[in-house]
Structure 1
Amino acid sequence: MLAESPLIQSMRTAVAAAPDDVLLRLHLAELLLNAGHTDAAVAEVAVTLQHAPCDVQARELMARAMGAPAVGPGEAMAAAPPPAASTTAPPRASAPEQPPAPAPRSTVGFDWKAAENQVGDVVPPRFTEAPLAVDGNGDPGDAAAWDVELPGTVRLADVGGMPEVKERLEAAFLAPLRNPELRRLYGKSLRGGLLLYGPPGCGKTFIARAVAGELGASFLSVSVNDVLDMWIGNSERNMHEVFQTARRQAPCVVFLDEVDALGGKRSRTQSNGMRNTVNQLLTELDGIDAGANEGVFVLAATNVPWDVDIALRRPGRLDRTLLVLPPDGPAREAILRYHLRDRPIENVDLSKLLKATDGLSGADLAHLCEGAAEYALLDSARTGTVRMIGMKDMLAAAGQIAPSTEPWFAAARNVAMYANEGGMYDDLVAYLKKKRKL
């Protein structure tokens, strides 16, 4: 491989500083071509043609680099315009005669498709997907547009503690599926909706994935960004396509994350488009035809169930609610073991640590393990001696973390006291009384 001259290296530095300067890049390409670096010259010209596809000099330089034939003398004479009549005196005889200008190379008949194929590996494609139409219509009906996960390996046994949550899930979904004869005897349908609510960071999404794993069902997670669209009618169509995809992939768990954003109270909504989206969600939960949602299990999660439209909680829709609280002792132990499994630890007393972490969410516990690792890392960097993560680090990190669930319980307390119509939040009231927060 030929070595590049200092001039070419300097030009490369200049082009890197001003990548959009077409003339500068063409000058570099010409230097490379003259020095015998044909492939590098082709690459630079190709980038130039990306910025300026109609640049004549770039096209001629590409033709020259790709070995296009030069124009013959006769063709050059025919192509040249006739000389204009001169009004000045002819040059003196003693003046040296200037050499004729070199004939320009022709790009007539040049195979641009072959050139494009040759530089295809050098120049990335300018666009990777078809643009939307003027009215915003894409093709959301394609099932591949929705990320449907295959049945996973996560099971409820992987969820530490939470016996009440597991028992409720067993009654709502799992027992009817495991006992088809009893299901047919008692007329239990393979459909249903469950609303998971509670403070943030307590594992509602993980529980939904565990339910899908227990069912051996596909998992389709839907958030507000997947549905809402700026064009009128597209949000409703997206919502319909979500459920159509789930019906085609049945058995399938549809997980509506932050359902208060997708199904907020219509009485508080000023936008007609948002009201129509909630109406479409209600229609899909009911199923257009009898049995249309057979094998489609809907799990929704929210931190603010009091903001969810009451129609969504009507029997036959999200009619069952489940409070997901901060992890209990066995759950905290499982979470701590999980986040410490690949870290160097020594003499960590989990029983003592569990008492110091009461009330922390799963996200808080993950942050605690990160903080303890930082303490040990910084100490090792200061002393120059690598040491293990110890109990002192864990307790120091725990002392710096305030439970992130406290603001949620402060808001939920008012709801439990003054807005518990029909015993909707009885489980929350019982927990607050148990913790003496009510």
Structure 2
Amino acid sequence: MSDGAEIIASLLRAVDAAPMDGPLRLVLVNHLLDAGRNEEAISQLSVILGQQPNFAPALLAMRRALSTSPAPPSEGDGYDDGYDWDRAARDLTDAVPAAYAGERGSAQPDYVSDDVPGTVRLADVGGMEQVKRRIEAAFLAPLRNPELSRAFRKSLRGGLLLYGPPGCGKTFIARAIAGELGARFHSVTLADVLDMFIGNSERHLRDVFAAARRNVPCVLFFDEIDALGHKRSQLANNAARGVVNQFLTELDGVDAVNDGVFVLAATNAPWDVDLALRRPGRLDRTLLVLPPDRPAREAILRHHLKGRPVGELRLDALATRTDGYSGADLAHLCDSAAELALMRSAASNTVHPITMAELESALAQIRPSIGAWLEAARNVALFANESGTYDELVDYLNVRKLL
């Protein structure tokens, strides 16, 4: 056995002993890629991304694994499996955006050209009336009337940072804002920006903004903005610093080129976002998106039970009992209740509808998932709110008697 194979075998044993150790598994992935064992590397990366979907090093490694797949056998190998490799290459080139399938220097895809505007409105957001009023007053009203904006010399650009615990509807609210503005909506992910080659990440970010400027009005939504715009003082990697610097450049624009481009961002940890991104003229407006209130919880429960066989349900009472649950928690509650009803239906060979009994059983097993976030937010509210940035968060924590 070669030295490389021995190292991989040792790493496989170590990963089996510590399956939740993502960095260790990533070391194994890099050795597999160096050995040309891409399929095994992709399998290991799927495990990492299943545990940490936005883990940037794993996303970069996945791109490497997919871009360096072993070449098909050539004609000189004397091997013919009957597969049309040329046709497969043509099909793949059509299916994958040119940014990844084409040669260097090829035209970039128009990231926003296929996303239609106005499909979701704030009226589609159940409950959360206070959040809607804040959005209207702080963001929508100044941007809806271009004539008044020109009269008051107000540039048609804007930036809004949505923050709060995970699973509470920040992405859905961003889509609703785009609908209210009649703008196209494009959600930008880490995979759209990050690249293993130096300078390419900045180029991808520039292309995203260039495409938005060609398709105004357009809402660019950056989820998990702390991953792309982390505090530079905490970054040891110069490449990561370059992405933040490029982000600042694109947000500023030149000669009002960003008019009609509205930048929305979401994060669970706004305290980790670089302060330069949040200065006036950039992501200068902040909105706390809290767990859904009682009317919103009832609307979420109705939405996730819609189309399923149900019996007599008391969703108003269930909504009252789920205070502090996120929208994702409520979706999980409905799915768990549906599984219980399905199991009973399979056992009796008849359709057993979802009743309060299934929902009660599921509720007994599911707890709110935002506890860790509340603890982190409490520390920020106590020790890092000298400027008053998180006063709204302080008020919420006081209401819940967490301060």
Could you say which residue in structure 2 is the equivalent of 1:53? 75
Report how far residue 168 of structure 1 moved.
Answer: 1.9
> Quick check: which one's helix share is greater?
2
Letter in 2 for 1:197: Y
Could you say which residue in structure 2 is the equivalent of 1:247? 213
**Structure 1 regions of 5+ residues with no counterpart?**
1-49, 63-118
Could you say which residue in structure 2 is the equivalent of 1:421? 386
Contact 1:264 1:278 in 2 (8 A): yes
Structure 1 vs Structure 2: percent identity of aligned residues? 60
Contact 2:113 2:215 in 1 (8 A): no
Could you say which residue in structure 1 is the equivalent of 2:376? 411
Pick closer, same or farther for the CA change 1:321–1:141 going to 2, 3 Å: farther
SS where residue 250 of structure 1 aligns?
Answer: coil
Given candidates 156, 170, 192, the residue that maps to 1:190 is 156
Indicate yes or no: 2:201 matched with 1:238.
Answer: no
Contact 1:416 1:429 in 2 (8 A): yes
CA distance in 1, matches of 2:79, 2:105: 41
SS where residue 421 of structure 1 aligns?
Answer: coil
Report how far residue 149 of structure 1 moved.
Answer: 1.4
Could you say which residue in structure 2 is the equivalent of 1:433? 398
Could you say which residue in structure 1 is the equivalent of 2:115? 149
Contact 2:111 2:208 in 1 (8 A): no
Q: Which deviates more, 167-176 or 300-309?
A: 167-176
Indicate yes or no: 2:354 matched with 1:332.
Answer: no
SS where residue 433 of structure 1 aligns?
Answer: helix
Could you say which residue in structure 2 is the equivalent of 1:384? 349
Q: What's the Cα RMSD here?
A: 2.7
The 5-angstrom pairing of residues 86-105 of structure 1 reads: none
Contact 1:372 1:394 in 2 (8 A): yes
CA offset digits 1:275-332 (Å, max 9, x no partner): 1110010011011x22111000000000111110011110000011100000001111
SS where residue 149 of structure 1 aligns?
Answer: coil
Could you say which residue in structure 1 is the equivalent of 2:88? 125
Indicate yes or no: 2:317 matched with 1:352.
Answer: yes
CA distance in 1, matches of 2:272, 2:78: 63
The total of aligned residue pairs comes to 327
Could you say which residue in structure 2 is the equivalent of 1:268? 234
Contact 1:147 1:220 in 2 (8 A): no
Could you say which residue in structure 1 is the equivalent of 2:48? none
The 5-angstrom pairing of residues 15-54 of structure 1 reads: 51=73, 53-54=75-76
Contact 1:161 1:328 in 2 (8 A): yes
Letter in 1 for 2:197: W
Contact 1:140 1:238 in 2 (8 A): no
Could you say which residue in structure 2 is the equivalent of 1:95? none
Report how far residue 53 of structure 1 moved.
Answer: 2.2
Given candidates 266, 270, 273, the residue that maps to 1:308 is 273
Letter in 1 for 2:93: E
TM-score normalised by L of structure 2:
0.75
CA distance in 1, matches of 2:107, 2:275: 29
Contact 2:193 2:205 in 1 (8 A): yes
Report how far residue 54 of structure 1 moved.
Answer: 3.9
Pick closer, same or farther for the CA change 1:283–1:141 going to 2, 3 Å: farther
Given candidates 365, 375, 379, the residue that maps to 2:340 is 375
Letter in 2 for 1:326: P
Given candidates 219, 222, 231, the residue that maps to 2:188 is 222
**Structure 2 regions of 5+ residues with no counterpart?**
1-71
Letter in 1 for 2:270: P
TM-score normalised by L of structure 1:
0.70
Report how far residue 382 of structure 1 moved.
Answer: 2.2
Could you say which residue in structure 1 is the equivalent of 2:16? none
Report how far residue 126 of structure 1 moved.
Answer: 4.1
Report how far residue 386 of structure 1 moved.
Answer: 2.4
